[in-house]
């Protein structure tokens, strides 16, 4: 019963409050805090990847039926869903199967963990705690946090998310549709065709435009994921270790 109450408390904290659970910030051991960060973040990343792969499976099934029977083989609601996906991933040609499969796919978990840890200072940054923003994502809309050291003339703000899961979801969408990460998607697609694991270190080389640090940022995230042993999460079948005690996080939207 005590365990259930603790899990519910964790769920409520992440759903309604900003940042990670309050008890996370009270962990004194640096190593223990880092390990806890991974335990909290990994299910969120896995869930986002799982939902993205469901979208991919829908696309594959849609075009399988469409190529076999034309419009007779697809339902009206399926076409509506395809339209929503084309808008979400900025796909101009509604029936461009290749572009859907290029853009709708999972992101290496080692990469997501690394960028979340770096961009949010292991969840302790102002943006993470007050905006649920783990990846430093910008917005030009009225709602957002103004960076303390924003250069003169700049108008961007740090986007505010309703919870941590929303931040992770937006991160995946960003990598999957932003033109700056075209090379990331091409290499991922090639790895899938060849049956290879798309490792975080390979993906990192394509993210020069993610930060103003450019090549320095690429080297930094590559070293970081190796130092923290995050590459182990990029195996083809790493689902065995995903069912941790933080399973309640999967209920987040």
Cβ atoms within 10 Å, residue 160: 19
pTM for this prediction = 0.85
Contact yes or no for 170/253 (Cβ under 8 A): no
Contact yes or no for 103/176 (Cβ under 8 A): yes
> pLDDT tens digit string along 106-134?
999 999 999 999 999 999 999 999 999 99
The predicted structure's pLDDT at residue 244: 36
> pLDDT tens digit string along 1-22?
444 434 444 444 444 357 999 9
The predicted structure's pLDDT at residue 154: 80
> pLDDT tens digit string along 173-192?
999 999 999 999 999 999 99
Query: What residue ranges define each of the domains in the chain, with the CATH number in brackets?
Result: 2-19+27-251 (1.10.530.10)
Percent of the chain with pLDDT over 90: 76
The CA-atom distances, in angstroms, between 231 and each of 37, 110, 236 are 16, 5, 12
Percent of the chain with pLDDT over 70: 86
**The pLDDT of residue 195 is above 50:** yes
Contact yes or no for 208/215 (Cβ under 8 A): yes
């Amino acid at each position: 019963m005590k365990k259930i109450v603790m899990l519910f408390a964790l769920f409520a904290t992440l759903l309604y409050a900003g940042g990670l659970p309050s008890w996370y910030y009270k962990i004194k051991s640096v190593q223990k805090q880092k390990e806890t960060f991974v335990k909290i973040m990994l299910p969120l990343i896995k869930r986002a990847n799982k939902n993205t792969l469901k979208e991919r499976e829908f696309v594959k099934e849609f075009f399988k039926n469409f190529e076999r029977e034309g419009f007779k083989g697809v339902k009206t609601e399926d076409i509506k869903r395809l339209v929503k996906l084309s808008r979400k991933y900025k796909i101009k040609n509604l029936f461009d199967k290749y572009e859907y499969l290029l853009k709708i796919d999972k992101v290496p978990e080692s990469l997501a963990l690394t960028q979340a840890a770096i961009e949010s200072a292991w969840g302790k940054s102002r943006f993470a705690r007050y905006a649920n923003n783990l990846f430093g994502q910008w917005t030009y809309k009225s709602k957002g946090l103004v960076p303390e050291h924003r250069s003169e003339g700049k108008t961007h703000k740090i986007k505010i998310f309703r919870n941590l899961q929303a931040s992770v979801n937006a991160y995946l969408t960003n990598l999957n549709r932003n033109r700056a990460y075209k090379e990331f998607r091409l290499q991922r697609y090639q790895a899938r065709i060849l049956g290879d694991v798309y490792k975080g270190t390979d993906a990192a080389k394509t993210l020069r435009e993610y930060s103003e640090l450019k090549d320095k940022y690429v080297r930094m995230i590559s070293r970081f994921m190796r130092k923290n042993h995050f590459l182990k999460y990029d195996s083809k079948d790493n689902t065995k270790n995903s069912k941790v005690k933080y399973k309640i996080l999967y209920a987040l939207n």
